Amino acid sequence: MAEMMHNPNDLLRLQKEITNIVGLDRNVDDSDLDKLPFLKCIVKETLRLHPPFPLLHHETAEDCVVGGYSVPQGSRVMINVFAIGRDAKAWKDADTFRPSRFMPGEGEVTLGGGFSASLPFGSGRRSCPGMALGLYSLELIVAQLAHGFSWALPDGMKPSDLDMDDIFGFTAPRATRLCVVPTPRLVCRFITDLDSTCQTTSFVSVGGI
């Protein structure tokens, strides 16, 4: 959400894509996700720039040579996922949020493969078994938020004013909370399964997304 607020044209493109498939009389459900390629691009690009775990720990299964250095079997190594995702030798405009780089026929990276879909979840036999569920959850939540509301920054704040820094540690959350103002854009209720008290509550701002 922070990257889309920082790049509002990408948010508008996503909302248009979802509206064309879903319409405005309901929200997104899981059967829609495979019809939303730009949504998948946004998730991939976000994971490229903001991996939840910036460093991954591995142990070498056999002797190997990496970059001219001998790495013996059993060595513990750390994979710098953050640096790989922003490597200017591997990515054009490496520090720029540009989801279209993953669009078929539009970008330089194929949608189905490459770094962003897998490396933030590890790789090989020790990769995260929940990768598919994690990607599914991200896609569904982002799609429902983008489709359910129009989003604005508070108090005349400009997209360029957003602090996009991360805090580095075992995980890498945003350095500052994101505060935004949502306005419902669907002709149906966004939430239908809660009690009447919750359904009539007005949401004024959302922080920490």
State the amino acid at position 124 in one-letter form: G
Mean pLDDT of the chain: 84
According to the model, what pLDDT value does residue 108 have?
A: 66
Q: SS3 breakdown of the chain: % helix, strand, coil, rounded to 5?
A: 40, 15, 50
Quick: pLDDT tens for 191-200: 555 444 334 3
**Terminal C-alpha separation, the chain:** 6
Once rounded to an integer, what is the mean pLDDT over residues 77-82? Answer: 89
* Token output for 148: 């359910």
According to the model, what pLDDT value does residue 39 have?
A: 97
Checking if the pLDDT of 65 tops 70, the result is yes
Q: Is the dihedral of CA 32, 137, 56, 7 positive or negative?
A: positive
Flag whether 128 is marked binding. yes
Tell whether pTM > 0.85. no
Quick: pLDDT tens for 85-137: 899 988 899 999 999 998 887 766 643 445 544 578 877 777 788 888 999 99
Please, are residues 163 and 169 in contact by the beta-carbon 8 Å criterion?
Answer: no
Nearest to 164 by CA among 180, 178, 150, 182: 178
Q: For the domain covering 2-149, report its CATH number.
A: 1.10.630.10
